[in-house]
Every structure is written in structure tokens, then in C-alpha cells.
Structure 1
Amino acid sequence: MNNVNELFRDRVGIAQDKKITFEYLDTVLEKTAKTIPFENLCIIEKRTKEITKANLTSKLLQQNEGGLCYELNTILYLFLSENGFNPSLVRGVTYNHMSQQWSGTGNTHVLNLMTHNGQIYLVDTGFGGNLPLKPIPLSGETVASSNGEFRVELADSEHGDYILYMKLNRQDEDWKIGYAFNSIKLIQNMSELNEVQRMIVEHPESAFNKKPLITKITDKGNITLTDTSFTQWVDRTLNKENIDEKRFNEIRKDYFKL
């Protein structure tokens, strides 16, 4: 079976007969964020595959793995398309706050845009622990969720015509840049995502080809696992545990089901 709609609903916990309205997308995004981890294990373990509908369905919805933005937002794109929406995939450039510069891998962030009642919205389930958990209008209006506050503003930038700003509940007092994106240049074919994946796998400045990273939104915050630490944000309180390989494998299985 290669029915994204049915398998997606089974994976994230949405009834098969539930009508997916625009108003229900908040719930879809929250369920997805709390079920499917943002993770790079297939890259670290050197088992990436071509980005196709069949391969994404198998990995994310049948084998119950997670993925990166170009996988997570593409499976969401397919789900939304099968439920009567007309989303578009576009590319963006994330901002690195440690180095205070745009990502060296270029426009390798993949996200969804969709129109509702004449308004264009950003819909992103592939931004790790920074997920808005709601559609964000491209009007500059601030949207608040359990993860923080988010807004998208028009920008005259070499990296695109809009910028996502965020103020995360657990750590931010001021607004900061999430990423810039190009709303005009749409991804026309899923095969373009293989170039994105290649850059993430091969580029020396890629944040995802050096060590494992797994993160997921939870009911009370966020959890993040690397090869050396396990970080939990619970009700805005930080708990960080230094770990070894044995503990990594335990947490990977117990907390992320991977």
C-alpha cells in the first residue's frame, strides 16, 4: 500500500474519517511534531535513498523512522495534497546563531506554502525544535503556539523574499531569525530534493553529516539527543545529561522509538 493519507493518519493518530480542514491543521502539525522525530540517522549510518514518494512513505510511515526537513515537509505536502489542499514546496536558507551567519549549505531548507481564503501561509514540520506548530501567514502577523511566537515578514534578501522570525518559549527573550525563503521559486519536481539531500550529506558545513541528532516536540517542551548528551526541556526547565554510546542507544529506543 502506498496511500500516504491512510498511513500518515495511522502514524500520527488521526482518525481515518476525520475531515482535514484548514482549522484542523494546528492539530495535524502538533501531532506530527510529537510523533515523527527530526533526525539524521540515515545520513550518519550511510543508508540514504533516493527521495521518492514510495521511499518516503516506507521510511516515515511504515518503518516509523524520522527524517530531515526535505523528508518531513515532503510527506506533509503529499498528505495535504491528498486531503484537498494545494501546497507548494519551496526552499530556504537557515540562520546559524552560533556563527551569526546564514548556513553555508545554502538553500537546503525545504518548507510548504499554501493558500487559504486568499492568504498565503507557511506550513513547516521540518525545523527541528523550532517548529511553529501552526500555519503562519505571510502578512507579518504574529502567531503563538505552545512552542513560542512566530511571524513571517516580507524581506528584500539575497536568500529570498520572506524571513521567518521566532521567539521560542523555552529560551528566547528577543525575536531571532529562523530562515529566509523564496516564495516565488517553487520546487517543480520531487527529484530536486535529491540535490538538497546530496548537499546535506556531502557539504563540509552541513550540520547533519557529522554526528547523530534526534529531536522531537513533547507535551511539555522538547527533547534532543546527540552522541554525547540528552537534553530535555520540561515546562521551560532545562535538564541535560551527558551520555555514552550505551545510553544513547537506550534513549534512542525509549524516547524516540528508533
Structure 2
Amino acid sequence: MNILQFEDYLKIDTASFNQVDLRTLNHYIERFMYTVPFENISVQNKEPISVNVDDLFNKIVHRHRGGFCYELNTIFQYYLKEKGFKVDRVSGTIHTPDDNWSRDGSHMSTIVHLDQPYIADVGFGDLPTKAIPISDPDNIQVIHDVNGHYRAILDEDNVIHLQKQLDDQSWRTSYLTNEICRPWDFFIEHLDYNVHHPDSIFVQKLIITMAKECGRVSMSYDHLTITSKNHKQKESFKRDQYKTILEKYFGIVESIHTLES
């Protein structure tokens, strides 16, 4: 992986942001999330998923693609380590839309250790463009972002609850994690499940989403959703329009087999 090319692609300001500190980390997260979409096109196309850093570099920088958690957080973790940050690869259990919980390891996240631990997750699809401090219930730190308000609370059992505030001001846990650093082998079975199992949401649905300065843009099989602060605009499209939308909003030039059939 060519670090200089990676930084150039993400438009990272290395002259102004070059310290191992929170300010620099937030710049890295922001530039990554504004440039690299969260997407599962490779799963939809039944292509093999590689987590080799050189393969990920080629996919993102040369092919202008994105990926999902195992891909995006892997290359981001590698980059952070190259820049001197102390990084842990951790496992997540996702709170599903039907109010159930996914299997442990169905999500891979990133924790960075600075003055305190921070979640620096660039592979979830609905998180702020800055690090989230892991805080205890007596001193909760909330991160405010154009896409909402987020917090990460460490409970008495050392479980981290990553949460987003809902419209009614209540908080919903997006996923659970902890500070146990996991080897890559821990995720092999879970990656295989997410890529191949018919019950996997990545097999069942097309998911493409990307943070924007004004909010977020997301694409499914037949809808484009543009969220700007408190306004959400959802538009349907015909299948013969998907390539135009894919390139216009996400910079991706690719065929999606499930939309070609």
C-alpha cells in the first residue's frame, strides 16, 4: 500500500494534520468517510472479498470503490498504525432493525487509544465523521454531527454501548463492543457468513451510503435517499438509471449484477 497515494486520494492535509492526537484522527476519519462509500456491491456481485491491504488499496484508490466493515476498518487501521496511532481491532454485535441482536463478530470496529479510548469506526454506515470518546455513565460525552448525536458508554461489565439519539430524544444502541483486541482470524467465520449466508443482510439487500458535508446519501435497489440535517428526501428510480446515480452520488463506475438481471 502506497501511503502517499492513499493520502492524496483522500485529500488528507498532511501539512496541517500530522500529530498523533484527536485533531488529526478526526481529520483522517472525516476525509475517509467523505471519500470512501460504505457499500456491498462485491457481495451482491458474488465476488470474493479480500482483506489484504494491497487489495483494499487497489479497490479503493484505483477502482474508486468502497466496501463494508471488514474492508474499510482494516485499511483504516493499517493507515492509522502507519501514522503512529495505537489501534485495536474489536468485535461488534449489531442491534438489528427488528430489535434483535446479530452474532458477535458480525461487525468489526476500531478503537484508538489517545488520552482516552475512542471509537474510530469508518465501516458502519451511520456514524459521525469524528471519533467517539468512550465514556462512563457518570461523565457521558456526546458527539454532535450533521447526521445526529452519538455517544459510546462503557457499562459496569466493560461492554461499550454505541448509541444514536432518536427523534424523540431517547437513545438507541447501534451496536455493542468492548476493548478486547481481536486477531483477524476471529472474524473469518463471520465474514464468510455476511458474504454468503442467505440470512445475511448484505446478501439480501443492496446497501450503499456515504457521508456528505450536508448529511448523507444512500442507495438501495430502487431508491435514493438524501438526508440533510432534519430533512430526508427519498426518490425512486428505474433500474436503467442506477449506473448514472451510482456515479453521480458515489463516484462508482460499476455494474451491479442484481440490478442487471
What code does the residue aligned with 1:7 have? Q
Residues 50 and 253 (structure 1 numbering): CA distance in 2 closer, same or farther, change over 3 Å? same
For structure 1, the residue ranges without an aligned partner over 5 or more in a row are none
- C-alpha distance in 2 between matches for 1:10 and 1:179: 32
Q: Which runs of 4+ in 1 moved over 4 A?
A: none
- 1:60 aligned partner: 60
TM-score, normalising length from structure 1? 0.88
| 1:220 is the counterpart of 2:214 | yes
Match of 2:173 among 172, 177, 189: 177
Mapping 1:203-242, distance limit 5 Å: 203-242=197-236
Which sits farther off after the overlay, 205-214 or 70-79?
Answer: 205-214
State the Cα RMSD in Å. Answer: 2.0
- Decide whether the 8 Å contact of 1:200 with 1:208 is kept in 2: yes
Pair 1:99-2:95 in alignment: no
CA distance 1:196–1:60, change in 2 (3 Å): farther
More strand by percentage: 1
Q: Match for residue 44 of structure 1? A: 44
2:118 is aligned, of 115, 118, 121, to 121
Q: Which is further off, 202-211 or 227-236?
A: 202-211
Aligned-residue offset at 1:106:
3.6
* Matches of 1:164 and 1:133, distance apart in 2: 15
CA distance in 2 between partners of 1:145 and 1:33 (Å): 13
**In 2, Cα distance between equivalents of 1:195 and 1:12:** 31
What displacement does 1:56 show? Answer: 1.4
**Structure-2 change in CA distance of 1:247 and 1:25 (3 Å):** same
Q: Does 1:253 align with 2:250?
A: no
Unaligned segments of structure 2, at least 5 residues: 253-261
Q: Deviations over 1:200-225 (max 9, x none)?
A: 11233311112321100111111110
Using the size of structure 2 for normalisation, the TM-score is 0.87
C-alpha separation between the residues in 1 aligned to 2:73 and 2:129? Answer: 13
In 1, the alpha carbon distance for the partners of 2:160 and 2:30 equals 24
1:5-44 maps to which residues of 2 (within 5 A)?
Answer: 5-17=3-15, 18-22=17-21, 23-44=23-44
Relative to structure 1, the CA distance from residue 172 to residue 55 in structure 2 (aligned partners, 3 Å threshold; closer, same or farther) is: farther
Residue type of the partner of 1:50? S
**What secondary structure is seen at the aligned counterpart in 2 of 1:134?**
coil
SS of the aligned residue for 1:183 comes to coil
The 1:137–1:234 alpha-carbon spacing in structure 2 relative to 1, beyond 3 Å, is closer
Moved more, 174-183 or 36-45: 174-183
Identity in percent:
29
Is the partner of 1:90 in helix, strand or coil? strand
Asked if the contact 1:223/1:232 (under 8 Å) is kept, the reply is yes
Q: Distance in 2 between matches of 1:108 and 1:7?
A: 31
Query: Equivalents in 2 of 1:86, 1:239: separation in Å?
Result: 40
Give the deviation of 1:151 after TM superposition. 1.4
Q: What is the count of residue pairs matched by the alignment?
A: 246
| 8 A contact 2:105–2:187 mirrored in 1 | no
Find the aligned partners of 2:18 and 2:178 in 1 and give their Cα distance. 31
Which stretch shifts more, 51-60 or 219-228? 51-60
Q: Does the alignment pair 1:134 with 2:133?
A: no
Partner-residue secondary structure (3-state), 2:128 = coil
Shift of 1:155: 3.1
